[in-house]
């Protein structure tokens, strides 16, 4: 298995393998898929030290963060295994026939089925959790879809080694040959999105690159869904009362959040609205320190892009550098705090709402909450929106606006840190994501499924999940009512 993986730089081979594997995965049982996911989790856990060492060399993210990320990744695989066994993600629905209706209603039973081979693009900033064995791979395998991963060039050795372990674990657990392949290279990625055998794409990356691939996926003779998580500025609003109550705590919290992982998080708090004249930007700068360290970033390209982005931002009329410097060191990022006011943001939205992927934040002073909300509404779409207020404050108008622009609304917290759970939503209006689905949490499985209804089917032709006796004991909707297993 390891040999095949090492050689699978040939996309056509990987795609043909995936198509053949799909004939088996589409007929796999929930128990099969749960066992595959758990086998992958166990194998990664067993090789954690080896993987973290490679990852640290390639990403500079550090042992603590990387160990935590492996734990998150394997917990994610096991959560999807649990969800597969629980079975409600299939939306199994049974309507018994009603001959008395006009027109008569036939027996109709609906279930979700896997789409087919899925392409997964690894992200640079999460070498485990959003990469070879990350959330997209876990949700595609859970759905019953073979996966072709396009490894990220920022961690090539880690990608290949992870792929070897994943493929080996899947094979040992009895998964069909070809269920998982690993390819590399920018041109291969372009071809992957256009490959006839590929039925959906999961992507985490830049707005520029993601948009190009989104356009290719939609421009195909047979368009396929492109689930991209692209760009977010993650607005934060702090009320006067919150600032009065705990300005230092807020400044320290923000400094910790926007510099975490050298700011290389899609949930980085990029624009923070505070009352005018509060001196909050200076407080944040003080929390960061007078001479922020230059910390190696994931790649030189990312560091260059960060330097360019903060340089452009600092050069806009009405924007000032309050802490750190727009002058960055090659290959590294050092924390920078910028400040402006809400009127400037409203007038210069496109430039000021550009995501700076790195340790920067823009503190925006507002004259009124209404003005801040006018500016936040112009964000368009973001992964998160946060409010810091005091108990008893009426935040309904703030929550209404944040709910419109973001997929996750936080109260009194900072957006970095994304729990992997049933209720998580990682996605929001364009450009944060490209669709109405999430890329983190159990419902991410829905992206790789499509409904099929069986009309007047004999019991023997139905999948087990739709048989009258409910042999797998899954939640189902029967004649319009949700029914839980006994």
Asked whether position 464 contacts a copy of itself by CB under 8 A, the answer is no
Minimum distance of a copy of itself from residue 234's CB (angstroms): 13
Site for a copy of itself in 189-218 (CB under 8 A): 214-215, 218
Contact between 132 and 162 under an 8 Å Cβ cutoff? The reply is yes
Is 266 a residue of the active site?
A: yes
User: For a copy of itself, which is the closer residue by CB, 295 or 389?
Assistant: 389
Site for a copy of itself in 370-389 (CB under 8 A): 380-381
User: For a copy of itself, which is the closer residue by CB, 315 or 419?
Assistant: 419
One character per residue 85-104, x = contact with a copy of itself (rule: CB under 8 A):
-x-x--x-xxx------xx-
Is 327 a residue of the active site?
A: no
Asked whether position 453 contacts a copy of itself by CB under 8 A, the answer is yes
User: For a copy of itself, which is the closer residue by CB, 368 or 456?
Assistant: 456
Asked whether position 457 contacts a copy of itself by CB under 8 A, the answer is yes
The b-or-e profile of 296-322 (16+ CB within 10 A means b, else e) is ebbbeebbebbbebbeebbebeebebb
Asked whether position 172 contacts a copy of itself by CB under 8 A, the answer is no
Minimum distance of a copy of itself from residue 472's CB (angstroms): 15
Asked whether position 45 contacts a copy of itself by CB under 8 A, the answer is no
CA separation for the pair 120, 131 (Å, rounded): 8
Number of residues that bind a copy of itself (CB under 8 A): 81
Asked whether position 235 contacts a copy of itself by CB under 8 A, the answer is no
User: For a copy of itself, which is the closer residue by CB, 47 or 220?
Assistant: 220
**Near a copy of itself by CB under 8 A, which window of 44-52, 235-243, 264-272, 447-455?**
447-455
Asked whether position 290 contacts a copy of itself by CB under 8 A, the answer is no
Asked whether position 413 contacts a copy of itself by CB under 8 A, the answer is yes
Asked whether position 82 contacts a copy of itself by CB under 8 A, the answer is yes
Catalytically annotated residue among 43, 69, 266, 355:
266
- CB atoms under 10 Å from CB of 368, counted, come to 11
Asked whether position 312 contacts a copy of itself by CB under 8 A, the answer is no
Asked whether position 184 contacts a copy of itself by CB under 8 A, the answer is no
CA separation for the pair 87, 122 (Å, rounded): 28
Asked whether position 397 contacts a copy of itself by CB under 8 A, the answer is no
Q: Which two tokens stand for residue 220?
A: 């195909």
Minimum distance of a copy of itself from residue 192's CB (angstroms): 18
**Near a copy of itself by CB under 8 A, which window of 259-267, 306-314, 339-347, 401-409?**
401-409
Asked whether position 424 contacts a copy of itself by CB under 8 A, the answer is yes
Contact between 386 and 416 under an 8 Å Cβ cutoff? The reply is no
Asked whether position 353 contacts a copy of itself by CB under 8 A, the answer is no
Catalytically annotated residue among 58, 229, 365, 465:
229
Minimum distance of a copy of itself from residue 385's CB (angstroms): 9
**Near a copy of itself by CB under 8 A, which window of 237-245, 283-291, 323-331, 410-418?**
410-418
Among 185, 279, 311, 429, binds a copy of itself (CB under 8 A): 429
The b-or-e profile of 29-63 (16+ CB within 10 A means b, else e) is ebebbbbbbbbbbbbbbebbeebbebbbebbbbee
Bridge partners for 235 per DSSP: 271
CA angle 310, 289, 333 (to 5 degrees): 35
User: For a copy of itself, which is the closer residue by CB, 360 or 434?
Assistant: 434
Among 34, 90, 303, 409, binds a copy of itself (CB under 8 A): 409
Asked whether position 255 contacts a copy of itself by CB under 8 A, the answer is no
Asked whether position 110 contacts a copy of itself by CB under 8 A, the answer is yes
| Greatest alpha-carbon span in the chain | 79
Residues with a known catalytic role: 229, 266
């Amino acid at each position: 298995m390891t040999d095949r993986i090492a050689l699978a730089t040939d996309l056509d081979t990987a795609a043909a393998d995936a198509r053949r594997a799909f004939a088996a995965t589409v007929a796999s049982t929930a128990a099969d898929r749960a066992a595959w996911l758990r086998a992958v989790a166990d194998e990664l856990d067993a090789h954690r030290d080896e993987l973290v060492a490679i990852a640290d060399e390639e990403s500079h993210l550090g042992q603590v963060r990387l160990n935590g990320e492996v734990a998150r990744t394997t917990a994610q695989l096991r959560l999807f295994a649990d969800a597969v066994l629980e079975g409600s993600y299939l939306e199994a629905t049974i309507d018994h026939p009603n001959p008395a209706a006009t027109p008569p209603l036939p027996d109709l039973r609906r279930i979700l089925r896997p789409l087919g081979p899925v392409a997964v693009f690894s992200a640079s900033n999460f070498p485990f959790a959003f990469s070879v064995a990350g959330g997209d791979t876990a949700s595609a395998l859970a759905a019953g879809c073979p996966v072709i991963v396009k490894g990220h060039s920022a961690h090539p050795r880690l990608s290949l080694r992870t792929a070897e372990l994943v493929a080996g674990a899947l094979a040992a657990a009895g998964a069909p040959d070809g269920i998982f392949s690993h390819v590399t290279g920018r041109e291969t990625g372009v071809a992957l999105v256009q490959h006839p055998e590929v039925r959906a794409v999961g992507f985490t990356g830049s707005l520029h690159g993601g948009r190009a691939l989104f356009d290719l996926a939609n421009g195909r003779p047979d368009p396929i869904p492109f689930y991209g998580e692209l760009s977010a500025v993650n607005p934060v609003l702090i009320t006067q009362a919150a600032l009065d109550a705990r300005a230092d705590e807020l400044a320290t919290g923000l400094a910790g959040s926007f510099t975490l992982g050298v700011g290389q998080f899609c949930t980085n708090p990029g624009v923070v609205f505070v009352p005018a004249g509060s001196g909050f930007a200076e407080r944040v700068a003080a929390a960061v320190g007078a001479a922020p360290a230059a910390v190696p970033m994931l790649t030189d390209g990312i560091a260059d892009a960060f330097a360019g982005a903060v340089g452009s931002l600092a050069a806009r009329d009405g924007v000032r550098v309050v802490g750190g410097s727009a002058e960055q060191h090659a290959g590294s990022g050092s924390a920078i705090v910028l400040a402006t006011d809400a009127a400037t943001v409203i007038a210069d939205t496109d430039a000021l709402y550009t995501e700076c992927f790195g340790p920067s934040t823009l503190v925006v002073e507002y004259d009124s909450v209404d003005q801040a909300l006018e500016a936040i509404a112009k964000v368009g779409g973001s992964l998160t929106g946060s409010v810091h207020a005091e108990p008893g404050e009426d935040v309904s108008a703030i929550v209404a606006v944040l709910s419109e622009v973001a997929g996750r609304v936080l109260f009194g917290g900072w957006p970095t840190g994304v729990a992997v759970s049933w209720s998580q939503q990682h996605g929001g209006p364009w450009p944060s994501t490209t669709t109405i689905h999430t890329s983190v949490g159990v419902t991410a499985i829905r992206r790789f499924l499509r409904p099929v209804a069986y009309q007047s089917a004999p019991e023997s032709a139905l999948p087990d999940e739709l048989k009258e006796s409910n042999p797998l004991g899954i939640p189902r909707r029967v004649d319009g009512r949700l029914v839980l297993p006994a």
